[in-house]
Amino acid sequence: MLHAARCQAERFGYQEIEVPVVEPEALVERGVGGDTDVVRKEIYRIQPMVEGGGTPLVLRPEATAGIVRAYFEGNLNQGPQPVRLWTAGSMFRHDRPQAGRYRQFQQFDVEAIGDPGAAFDAEVVELTWGWYRDLGVEGLTLELNSIGDARCRPAYLERLRDYFVAYRDRLGADDQRRLETNPLRLLDSKEPALVELREGAPRITDFLCDECVAHWDEVRSLLDAAGIGYRLNPYLVRGLDYYTRTVWEYQHESLGGAQNSLGGGGRYDGLAEALGYPPTPAVGFAGGLDRIVLVLDAQRGGPRGRPAADLLLLPDGEGLEVAAATVARHARTATSVAADYSRRSLRAKMRAASRSGARWVAIMNPDEAGRRVVQLRELDSGEQREVTWADLPAALAPGTHPGDLA
């Protein structure tokens, strides 16, 4: 999964960056927003063992704020823009652990910092869409919305508040507070009452200023040109002021209900300023790896590991360890190889090999070892032929079938 992330990021010219796992509390609070569930309920604070010691620290719940800080502190803002970066690693959020929601989970992050152009919103969508495609995720839904910017959003928020105020007594305590502090969040609430009420609420896309409309139109036409299907979702929001314009989310129904988000992204032109740096436009994405495992397992009808090796070497007989290690050494110049040194029967080794998901097996008895050959079999097709040790790397090259060398 990480390999696919790296390949896809590199294909788009994104460079890897590593940022700290332990961060100052202030950076995370400003980056994630003091009034979000993440900061209010989910942050792990680190208590130093020494009395009254030092800067309050937390385990990072996301990586974007750390990457934006690195962009400035590492003078990446001085070079050509935008700066395209990616990272992957552990994030931490306190919650009741359940399927798809863990205290420690892995994220793939992609950030394009330093350019306001809609082309970068579309680029990050295309990159991440392709990542899911490369992983074989089927049935992915991309939801898309624009939430305007500092020019047009305030007037919209007033209208939204006016709308919901009339229904205040139907809102829970948390939502009544959000009505005052952050009415946008009412739109993505999972509360049944709100899901019903929001149907009649004003829609942000009807309130966008001319610049935001132009940006929104461009993002959609770039995605159309890329052949990426999406669903417009007027209730998809990011509850923080620093988010601007495009927001999107990848959803998968097999995750069900509250955990159906596989990943999400958005433009965050106001974040750098919120962190105390000069205003700098940027767009980014964060996608969880753990939930992809759940989706792929559901798709395949149960958990299935990736094959540990492409070729399994099956020595059939006693005293073949040196020969098997030599063959493996040859074959590793072409692909990944593991040998089954167990004393099981060949039948049992074959059964295990089929279950492992390996593409090939190479069988070798003492007579074949003496002649420096193996029986190379492609498991899916059942095609098999004798190959010399020297020819093995060529026979294993991508796109080769046993018959090709006959």
List interacting residues with ligand AMP (CB under 6 A): 62, 93, 95, 100-102, 105, 107, 261-264, 286-288, 290-291
Q: Compute the least distance from the CB of residue 291 to ligand AMP, in Å.
A: 4
How is the beta sheet containing 244-251 ordered, strand by strand? 15-16, 83-92, 104-113, 282-288, 261-267, 244-251, 141-146, 231-232
Q: Compute the least distance from the CB of residue 7 to ligand AMP, in Å.
A: 20
Bridge partners (DSSP) of residue 311 are: 337, 360
Q: Which of 188/211 has CB closer to ligand AMP?
A: 188
Q: Are 151 and 211 in contact (CB under 8 A)?
A: yes
Q: Compute the least distance from the CB of residue 38 to ligand AMP, in Å.
A: 7
Q: Which of 264/402 has CB closer to ligand AMP?
A: 264
Q: Compute the least distance from the CB of residue 344 to ligand AMP, in Å.
A: 39
Phi, psi of 375 (to 5 degrees): -95, 110
Q: Are 131 and 4 in contact (CB under 8 A)?
A: yes
| Burial classification of residue 96, based on how many CB atoms lie within 10 Å of its CB (0-12 exposed, 13-18 middle, 19 or more buried) | exposed
- Written as six digits, the tokens of 192 are 């049944």
Q: Which of 261/336 has CB closer to ligand AMP?
A: 261
Count of alpha carbons within 13 angstroms of residue 332, beta-carbon side: 9
Helix (H, G, I), strand (E, B) or coil at 334: coil
β-pair type (15-16, 337-339): unpaired
The CB-nearest residue to ligand AMP is 288
Q: Compute the least distance from the CB of residue 98 to ligand AMP, in Å.
A: 9
Q: Which of 113/320 has CB closer to ligand AMP?
A: 113
Q: Which of 209/293 has CB closer to ligand AMP?
A: 293
Q: Which of 251/280 has CB closer to ligand AMP?
A: 251
DSSP letters of 90-149? EEE--S--BTTB-SEEEEEEEEEES---HHHHHHHHHHHHHHHHHHT--S-EEEEEE---
Q: Which of 137/364 has CB closer to ligand AMP?
A: 137
Q: Compute the least distance from the CB of residue 354 to ligand AMP, in Å.
A: 33
Q: Compute the least distance from the CB of residue 272 to ligand AMP, in Å.
A: 18
